[in-house]
Structure 1
Amino acid sequence: MTADRTALAGARLVLPGGVVVENGRIAVDGGRISAVSTGADVGPDDLDLTGRTVVPGFVDLHVHGGGGASYASGVAEEALLAARTHLEHGTTTTVASTVTGEIDEVCRQAAVLSELVEDGVLAGVHFEGPFISPGRCGAHRPDLLRDPDPALVRKVVDAARGHARMVTLAPELPGGLESVRMLADLGVIAAVGHTDSDYGKTLEAIEAGATVATHLFNAMPGIQHRDPGPIVALLEDERVTVELINDGVHLHPSVLDLAYGTAGAARVALITDAMGAAGMGDGLYPLGPLQVRVENGVARLVEGGSIAGSTLTLDVAFRRSVTVNGLTLGQAVESLSAVPARLLGLADSIGSLEAGKYADLVVLDSDTYDLVAVMRRGEWITGADRLVRTVSV
């Protein structure tokens, strides 16, 4: 096989529609999948993936950093390190998330991140803050929050030079619904999050064009039997994709099960919401203008103690989803790859194992679902030395 042409054989494959096949074969040519077949013997020069499971590369809609680096630093080298860290854990497509800061600083960060989108490193920019509720700000500096005035929202979107993918805002704030409509008109995802919105106002936001729930359950009112709040509105509407953080900290497993039972895997996008400590150890880390302490893998603000993102990587989220929550392999792939790919409008090139799509692949151990290797656009990123090549005859 040449450097840009290879074949993986003998693996369990998770195909579109949740179809799981044994003894599958994936041929890769020029960075794309050229063929997918089943029932074939491992041939000469094939990589023998017997005992392995191959799934599409993961797509993270919401991640702030990793590897000790932050996208909100506004430093290209840090953004590259963060993206590489998550890539080595199977995230082959990343939307970089900012945090609340001064408007001009957020715009500067967006400009830096946009260059990396243009270089093919990132898939877009997600603005989380400053257009969020002071009462639900979590790990965002309250004094820097702003109402979602459409002119300000448009300013940060324009700073991304056409690469803004999503803006999280609280629709109950002045200008909120107008900004949702504007974002929808611009083709930018309007996400409801960090909000004190009630059920009715959330329905208004959905009607105005909001299509995503930012880390559902977290940083929003809980469900009350006489006041269902935003969670019920977001779960029940088929137009809304709900983000969930499956790290065992942000959500109890039964709550995640509830969301899947209501929305179904086709409307759930599993995200990391990871900050700089992802892929690292305990210690002190910056998150925008705030300081975070990580202890036993849990990130909390030094001042106030609020949960400050996660240290999650999506390979861990995949494993938890299957082994803890009992999702099928097809459901896990739907939420980690297919759903976010569709939401981003990239389903023609990523999100499933199909001929013609980019060769973005994650190889897992079939028994433990531990990560073995990662390929992005036909290039092995990590783990190739753990794969066995058969010998030509």
Structure 2
Amino acid sequence: MMLRAREQRRENDRNKEKEVVMQPSIWGRLPDELLERIIALLPLRTILALRPTCRRFSCLLSSPAFLSLLHAHNSLAFLLLSHPQFSHRCLPLYDPAADGWRSVPLPPSSTSGSASPSSLLLLSAASGLLLFALGRSSLLVANLLTNASKVLPLPTYSAAPSSAALVSLPSRSNSTHGYKIFLPCASDDDVFVYDSASVAWTRFPGFEPVLGRRNPHQGGAFFDGSLYFTTPEPFSTVGFDLRNGAWDVGVAPPMPEDLAFVRLVGGCSGSGEDHLYLVGGVGRDGISRSLKLWELVGRKEERKGRAWEEIGRLPEMMCRKFMSVCYHNYSHVNCLWHEGLVCICCTTWPEVLFFKVSRGTWHWLPRCPMLQEKWSCGFRWFSFVPDLFALV
């Protein structure tokens, strides 16, 4: 009996080693719709490698029906790390599915003669698009998945931009979508908004408490059609409507008491519903003793019914580590939304603290192995979700 079982295992191993070949005639008889459904299940890099093999495959990525299938099956998301010491020809990204790191090449336009490598700065990311500053004269919008990019001349050349917000504007159907760029003016308190639909910049009056030098965090959190900002102390929330350029000082209820620092994070749930979160250090005399997370609840039309509802509190030991990391210099703290996670980062620390909203749990993302030990500051994180629908 044991000998028979051993022989059976050997036979199974030999069968596994045999190469399984799909007859071309079978593939040729498959209906187009079924074949496209099968191809849509392949990894994106495999689909891109198929394009040169025949005219039919090369046209797939321009087919609305196939793009809809691809959008439904491919929802990979990565955390992208930027650091001044990295090579400007690639950037490292963390793949949660594989729990590993890899590097992604930048588009040729970002490494060619349009700017020196030292002047290339990643400013923002949204729905598969990355926004770079190319010196003091232009911006670069790039889709790494399609290897497409566009250089946008800046409306003013007073200084290289250090902050900007890239906002994706997806349509309700699975079709291509555009974007807007919110750019603070370096010389005064005005702002510029670029619309990919009109291919033009529009200048709007600014709001000094948000755009002043006392407030270095001018990127904004996108929520419900507007960018939301916080003012310096006394902390409050201000909204900027991207459609008409109007500022709204009563867009959110008063913030919780005893806050030492605040950050806003805008996110979209799996059902497509927008959410706005408030990350705050709680303490007195500018020293945080704890860190909490709130969510804005209530409808925008019913402002009196809106409130900040606490949804999470950082455990004491993790809080001690985080506060020691930033040395109570909260200007180094940045926050972002990443596929159901509220990520809290520090430019002086290579790890990421994140809160999983669905489970209400806190975790640390370890240090990237591509980092050298002597690199101690300049860490900036971005959420990167590859998207074929995002046009530059």
Q: Which structure carries more strand by proportion? A: 2
* TM-score normalized by the length of structure 1: 0.31
Max radius of gyration: which structure? 2
* TM-score normalized by the length of structure 2: 0.31
Using CA pairs under 8 Å that are at least 6 residues apart, name the structure with larger relative contact order, 1 or 2.
Answer: 1
Q: Which structure carries more helix by proportion? A: 1
